[in-house]
Amino acid sequence: MAEADLFQPMDLSALNSFGLAVNAEHYFALDRPEQISTVHAALKRQKCLLLGGGSNFLFTRDPEEPVIAMRIKGITVCEDGEDVHLHVGAGENWHNFTQYCVDRGYGGIENLSLIPGQVGTAPVQNIGAYGVEVREVITYVDAFDTQQKEMRRLKKKECGFGYRDSIFKSSQKDRFWITAVGFQLSKSAPVHTAYGAIRDQLQAEGVREPGIADVARAVIHIRKSKLPDPSELGNAGSFFKNPVLSTERSQALLNKYPNAPHYPASDGFKWAAGWMIEQAGWKGHRRDTHGVHDRQALVLVNYGGATGKEIFDLSSDIQKDVEKKFGVTLEREVNVYL
């Protein structure tokens, strides 16, 4: 295919989970690694927007730069006793991948079931839920380095993983095009049921000795009961990160709000952003076409016809109110295209 024919106009409304009416003038779906050099050359040093499943993205306007959708698929498995090594294409659906592993008895990511998005975006965000983060099972990330113009394999320690963060999201943003991710799971991995919601659900089901399939089923039930389905109500899941506050700041807040939900973190305490938003009076707030979900204050929703700018403005108003009430600045977890 000639370089001039690579990029085509594309309606992105079905490619972002908010369901926003967004159009790209130049779009290309990359489904084979061998296409990368041609596509990168066609950009002629122009920046591009790399789009995964669009589940953690808020467009406030039509993108000006070319949009490249990562669609490389494939799962390769190598079993070594109890250990299981997997090489997974960046374009694989994340939830489908978790179920693929659960069905085969590969433990380690069952707590991350039903998280929307693709495998390639999981390390970018270092997705996490119910006491598990994906960095715990990632061994490497394969990516095209746009600076060096070559494929690279970045080991886990090179990825700079942090709470909902990595070099792919922060210091090296836009540099790497992730094509595949390596995982190490286990047939004998211990299950993580420390979160009360999981324990309660398993107890309700009468499960006394849960396996990974039981935990996955419980997580799916919990997420479905609390979070809206993006295919039915436009949203990007948790819009804000849970803030991590120092021990000193946490104690000061606890003096005022002794029942506030908070959890130990490596450098202080992690506070529940959803609780803060709810206490500031935003849970269930609606502005005609968009608003805050009535069951989970962390989730902003598009009821239909909203613009990304309107949703962004709502998030800014929430930030201001939480800052005023608690002295805490909430950080957006969703990537915003301004």
> What residues act catalytically?
164, 238, 333
Structure tokens at 139: 């061994």
Q: How far apart are CA 167 and CA 159, in angstroms?
A: 6
Distance of CA 3 to the CA centre of its chain: 32
Structure tokens at 95: 């939830």
Q: How far apart are CA 219 and CA 29, in angstroms?
A: 32
SS3 259: coil
What single letter denotes the amino acid at residue 252?
A
**Pairing outcome for strands 335-337 and 57-59:** parallel
Sign of torsion, CA 112 60 310 9?
Answer: negative
Order of all β-strands in the sheet with 138-145: 75-80, 83-89, 176-186, 138-145, 150-155
119-154 burial, b at 16+ Cβ within 10 Å, e below that, comes to: bbbbbbbbbbbbebbbbebbebbbbbebeeeeeeeb
Q: How far apart are CA 286 and CA 297, in angstroms?
A: 12
Q: How many Cα atoms are found within 13 Å in the side-chain-facing hemisphere of 189?
A: 25
CB 107 within 8 A of CB 188: yes
Phi-psi region at 11: left, alpha or beta (left = phi > 0; alpha = psi -120 to 50): beta
What would you report as the CA-atom Rg of the chain, rounded to the nearest whole angstrom? 20
Structure tokens at 91: 């374009």
**Pairing outcome for strands 75-80 and 83-89:** antiparallel
CB 67 within 8 A of CB 48: yes
